[in-house]
A and B are shown apart, each in its own frame.
Chain A
Amino acid sequence: MHQGIAFRTALLITGTTGDAEEAAQDAFVKGFRALRRFRTERPFRPWLLAIVANEARNRRRSASRRQGLELRAATEIRPGDAAPSPEAAALRDERRQLLLRAVDGLPAEQRLVVGCRYFLDLSEAETATTLGIRTGTVKSRLARALERLREEVPADV
């Protein structure tokens, strides 16, 4: 049940689907074997994601250079969207692509916090546990990241 979020967490860190898949797989194996260290009063998902993140970081370190996120923002109109005018749709898509590139260009520590909070929809506490940092650090990194994104992708673009 945690496969999707585990894979996407690994993908945020490694940047490639192949590494992400292997990292997630290793994390499930290690997580399962480490279950006796898991404390039931703590939420399971961030505990597992912390193992995933650790595996993913190990793979990223061993890769010669981090590649850009293998992500793209959908450009097609999804069911349920209000039908925008072609111009509005094109503008919106362009803005999404710009924003995605800007996120990808953030320093790794900021990119990961943005990724966890927005792309994975993790809470501040979950993000902190997953990345092995304090919630205060999550807040400050997110604030710096948003400031930088505001500069790089002004609202009127």
Chain B
Amino acid sequence: MSDLDRDLRDLAAAIDFPATPDLSARVRGRLAQPERVQPYRWVAIAVAVAVLAVSVGLAVPDARTAIFRLFHVGSVSISFVERLPEVQPGRPLDLGEPISPTEAPFRLLHSELLGAPDTVYRRGGIVTLLYGTRERVRLLVTQIPASGFTPEIGKKLAATGTRVEFVEIAGSPGPGVWITGRPHLVSLPGGPARLASNTLIWQRGPLTIRIEGAATIAQATRIAESLT
């Protein structure tokens, strides 16, 4: 231990921190009041950024690149990075094991607008509805149980050229996020990281949902709001 280290510890022990005020009564009082609903919960996002900036190590292929911004929609984190890590192109789309919709581990949301999916896949707790085929995907609807107490978390990396817009989705507790422009990288637990096209992500009750493949924000929003 250096002299300075010792001196700093000595100083720390001698510091007269002002007495901590009793916060509990006022905090309890405020918690008893209904939560203000903000159409765009920037505050929640700011908190999530602070919380997650460090706690989410990017587990997608070694992404040792500067992170410019990071935020969080449900159980999916979205990071802006200097450059995307390399992924193997041309891999067949790997969405997990095909299942019957009745085998889903939670009640799936369905869209009357879209009708029945061509195939339903499950990987871990995550279920993906595929419209089209794995070779010619028309649309993907991925439903992620967003319990705050599971370690499962989807990650997205976006780099220069990828645009992100916030969009209000009826029934979502916070804004949804619409990602367009250059392909971004998506990584869901258990699956390989891959490049993704236009994606809308939002929260609905305990689920975080992502729709990939819609052509426009209006179309994506209409599909999102049709899911029940």
Contacts and interface: CB of A to CB of B under 8 A. Distances in A.
Interface string A22-65: 00110011101111111111100001001101100010000000
Interface residues on B, range: 35 or more
A42 B149 CA distance: 10
Contacts of A37: 48, 51, 72, 148
A17 B18 contact: yes
B15 A25 contact: no
Nearest to A41: B151
A84 interface: no
| Category for how many chain A residues contact B | 35 or more
Interface of B: 2-5, 7-12, 14-18, 20-24, 26-27, 30-31, 35, 43-44, 46-51, 53-55, 72, 148-151
Given A50-B50, A96-B10, A38 B148 contact: yes
Contact of B24 (A3, A33, A134, A146): A3
Contacts of A99: 7-8, 11
A157 to B, nearest CB: 10
B149 A100 contact: no
Given A96-B10, A119-B12, A29 B148 contact: no
A153 to B, nearest CB: 8
A42 to B, nearest CB: 6
In order of increasing CB-CB distance, the 8 nearest A-B pairs are A54-B50, A36-B148, A132-B53, A7-B20, A28-B27, A118-B8, A73-B14, A4-B20
A150 interface: yes
A73 B16 contact: yes
23 contacts: A3-B20, A7-B20, A17-B21, A21-B23, A28-B27, A30-B47, A37-B51, A39-B149, A41-B151, A42-B55, A50-B51, A51-B51, A71-B17, A100-B11, A103-B8, A118-B9, A129-B51, A129-B54, A132-B49, A132-B50, A133-B53, A149-B4, A149-B8
A83 interface: no
Contact of A32 (B7, B22, B27): B27
Given A25-B26, A33-B31, 8 more contacts: A7-B23, A29-B30, A37-B51, A39-B148, A40-B149, A73-B11, A74-B16, A155-B4
